[in-house]
Amino acid sequence: MIASVRAELLRLGRWPTTWVLCGTWLVLNLTFGYVFNYLSYRSDDGGGGFANQVSDGAPASTLLAQLMPDRVPVTLVQGMPMFGGALVLILGALAVGSGYGWGTWKTVFTTGPRRVTAMGGTLGALGIMLVGLVVVSFILDLVAAFTVAAAESQPTTWPTLADSAQGLGAGLLICAMWMAGGVMLGTLTRGPALAVGLGLVWSLVVENLLRGVAGLLGPLETVTNVLPGTAAGSIAGAIGAVVQSDPNGTPGVTTVLGGTAAALLLGGYLLAFLAASLALTARRDVTT
Amino acid sequence: MSEPILTTRDLTKRFGDRLAVDHVSLTVRRAEVYGFLGPNGAGKTTTLRMLLGLVRPTGGEATVLGHRPGSPDGLARIGALIEGPGFYPYLSGRDNLRVLARYAELGDVAVEAALELVDLTDRAGDKFRSYSLGMKQRLGVAAALLGDPELLILDEPTNGLDPSGMADMRDLIRALADQGQTVLLSSHLLGEVEQICDRVGVIAAGRLLTESTVADMRGQASLLVRADPMSTAREVAMGLVGAARVTAVDGTLRLSIGTERAAELNRTLVLAGVEVSEVRPLARTLEDAFFEMTNHAETNHEATNHEETTS
């Protein structure tokens, strides 16, 4: 397994797509987490204009508080249920699906490792990259928060160790679940395009539509409450991210489920996606 | 005769209603170059995929180097190139091999050795996507050679190579066999198979039609005789070599005898008053034998399908 992880780290590490997607997340995270909010805070003159478009009239003190270092664990996670999740889903789908298009799975499977070991190598390498991505995001968020605090002469309070662990853990769980979903779709469709398309439509469109319809059809609510996106949004909501329904809320964040239930559900989805990917890889004929 | 290292018995694969491979039983022996011949769509690649564990058989069984197909222990001793090279387009040729070497727990020395063997060292740093078809094919063979495997399974290895590249590839395959490596080579290029293979198996419409040495498959050479009068020439020839060995075809005689008897035949005919205008060897090529067999098989296959449809 270690040999397979090393092989996959080499090829994923040199894949421009990996860096483009990870870089996009880091830029989006900083832009929506700090840049826009800080610009909004700085231009908040109590009138209209740019400030109100972004903060929807939130008091300046509230905006500034959200930019302080002790809020970094929340800021890190708040964008993951929807945008971060979508990006890592794309990465997972492309990392696995492209191998069928290029014929590289065929080459790898005839090189020696068991199919499950080879797929385990991909999952392991993606997992390592995911840990790196979340940690780098956290560090960049800390840098941004301390910069804002220094610029605004605010006291610099570090996030507590417990809050940091909670934020990092929640972020990892959300991203791992979406990435595993992408891997499963890439395996299922044996190609990158359909896997990415289906994944994005599900995570960005279908779940939101279902939640909308659930307001009209009561029984459907039971289903929407246990969807992957609901679980991801709920864990972000549980650690303090502002829910979507709030004027200053973040898309995808909700409090439908409690933190523990959301974490368990996310873990369940993660395991189910991984198990399905491994089972499909092990059992199906490789004809491309 | 060396030991068999790859055997299949009644190996069968069905994709839905289509029978791609139909009870194929073949044997590949150690250190031989085995040519797996067949027209496009005959079932060659599907058979090779089954031998590598990429596709599971619907029926029958196979043993490769003492293991079931797809077993990691077996695959570690096999090098394969199946249906064109599959590599990461954004990586260089060298890095593609390094990825595979890591999977196989081999070092960079093995990578450089494989690149050297296929004469790709100079361009090894270029991206795979920038390679010509021939270079991609050579990288595929390099990947198959990683780790010095006992058995090479090569599916149309000369596809996309220019004549010089094809000759180099044939030399490489022959040299590998001379060093003791076994090669199972699928191809529809009869000349290629004739030049480098020790034995051949011919597959058509999913069925293995024959398995023999190249010489046996070609059959005995014959002599073509053009003479006048033909009736006298035929009688004289039948008296000399036996009636069973003489056939009249399109105003000529075909004698199933070797060229060493050509002078004797010519002299006998002339002494019998026959004017001999041509005596020449008529070698039956592998191509003749191949088309004879595959056309026959395809006709039978179509007839069987027709019967199944009408019944």
A118–B103 C-beta distance less than 8 A: yes
Q: What share of chain A is helix, strand, coil (3-state, %, to 5)?
A: 80, 0, 20
Q: Read off the pLDDT band of A45 (50, 70, 90).
A: low
Q: Nearest CB to A110: which of B54, B56, B99?
A: B54
Residue A240: closest CA among A142, A175, A164, A179: A164
User: Is the pLDDT at B242 greater than 90, yes or no?
Assistant: no
Q: Is the peptide bond before B229 cis (omega within 30 degrees of 0)?
A: yes
In the Cβ-directed half-sphere of A52, how many Cα atoms lie within 13 Å?
6
pLDDT at B233 over 70: yes
pLDDT, average across residues B24-51:
91
Q: How confident is the prediction for chain A on average, in pLDDT?
A: 88
Each residue's pLDDT tens digit, B2-23:
889 999 999 999 988 889 999 9
In chain B, the residue whose alpha carbon lies closest to the alpha carbon of A98 is: B88
Distance of CA B219 to the CA centre of its chain: 17
**A193-212: pLDDT as tens digits:** 999 999 999 988 888 888 87
B103: which chain A residues are within 8 Å (Cβ-Cβ)?
3-4, 7, 108, 111-113, 118, 121
The predicted structure's pLDDT at residue B170: 86
Neighbours of A36 (CB within 10 A): 15
pLDDT top residue among B188 and B144 = B144
Q: Map out the domains of chain B as residue ranges.
A: 4-217, 220-282
Give pLDDT, residue B280: 87
Instruction: Name A72's Cβ contacts closer than 8 Å, sequence gap at least 6.
Output: A138, A141, A142, A145, A159, A164, A167
Q: Which residues of B touch A285 (CB under 8 A)?
A: 49, 54-56
Residue A225 is predicted with a pLDDT of 85
Q: Residue A223 phi/psi, 5° resolution?
A: -75, -45
Query: Cβ distance B220 to B258 under 8 Å?
Result: yes
B100 to chain A: which residues are within 8 Å by CB? 7, 107-108, 111
Which of A3-12, A178-187, A219-228, B126-135 has the least mean pLDDT? A219-228
Of A3, A8, A106, the CB nearest to B105: A3
Strand partners for B276: B227
Q: Given 3-state DSSP classes, what are the helix, strand and coil percentages for chain B, each rounded to the nearest 5?
A: 45, 30, 30
Q: Which residue has the tokens 């909501």?
A: A237
Please determine, for residue B219, whether its predicted confidence score (pLDDT) is greater than 90.
no
Percent of chain B with pLDDT over 90: 46
Q: Which residue of A has its CA nearest to B149?
A: A111
Contact (CB<8Å) B90/A15: yes
DSSP A156-191: -PPPPHHHHHHHHHHHHHHHHHHHHHHHHHHHHHTS
pLDDT at B308: 52
Domain boundaries B4-217, CATH class: alpha beta
Name chain A contacts of B84, Cβ cutoff 8 Å: 103
Cβ-defined contact of B54 to A285 (cutoff 8 Å): yes
Residue (of B36, B49, B244, B135) closest to A107 by Cα position: B49
Dmax over CA atoms of chain B, in Å, equals 77
Q: Out of B56, B98, B100, name the one closest to residue A111 (CB).
A: B100
* A47: exposed, middle or buried (Cβ count in 10 Å: 0-12, 13-18, 19+): exposed
**pLDDT, position A21:** 95
Closest CA to B79 of B139, B14, B2, B160: B139
CA dihedral B170, B176, B178, B179 (to 10 degrees): 170
Q: Is B151 left (phi over 0), alpha (psi -120 to 50) or beta?
A: beta
What's the rounded mean pLDDT across residues B89-103?
95
Q: Which amino acid is at A244?
A: Q
- What's the pLDDT at B301? 60
User: Is the pLDDT score of B117 beyond 60?
Assistant: yes
- CATH node for B220-282: 3.30.70.790
The pLDDT tens digits of the residues spanning A105-125 come to 999 999 888 899 999 999 999
Q: What is the pLDDT of residue A69?
A: 92
Share of chain A above pLDDT 70, in %: 94
pLDDT at A147 > cutoff 80: yes
Residues from B contacting A (CB-CB < 8 Å) are 49, 52-56, 70, 72, 75-76, 78, 80, 82-91, 95, 98-100, 102-105, 143, 146
Beta carbons of B100 and A7 less than 8 Å apart: yes
Q: Which residue has the higher pLDDT, B164 or A9?
A: A9
Q: Which residues of B touch A8 (CB under 8 A)?
A: 99
The alpha carbon of residue B145 is apart from the nearest alpha carbon of chain A, in Å, by 10
Q: Which residues on B lie below 8 Å from A102 (Cβ)? A: 86-89
Under 8 Å CB-to-CB from B124, ≥6 apart: which residues?
A: B92, B93, B94, B97, B115
Which chain A residues touch B if contact means CB-CB below 8 Å? Answer: 3-4, 6-8, 10-11, 14-16, 102-114, 117-118, 121, 285-287
Statement: residue A47 has pLDDT above 60: no
- In this complex, do B88 and A6 lie within 8 Å of one another by their Cβ atoms? no
Nearest CB partner across the interface for B54, out of A10, A121, A286: A286
* Minimum CA–CA partner of A15 in chain B: B90
Interface A:B, Cβ pairs < 8 A: 88
The pLDDT of residue A163 is: 93
Look at A48-52, A258-262, B64-68, B190-194 and tell me which has the smallest mean pLDDT. A48-52
8 Å CB contact of A107 and B95: no
Asked whether the predicted pLDDT for residue A216 surpasses 80, the reply is: no
Amino acid, res. A198:
L
- Mutation target to probe the A interface, by most A beta carbons within 10 A, among B102, B105, B131, B148 is B102
The pLDDT assigned to A50 comes to 45
Residues in B closer than 8 angstroms to A3, CB to CB, are: 102-105
User: B294 and B190 in contact (C-beta within 8 Å)?
Assistant: no
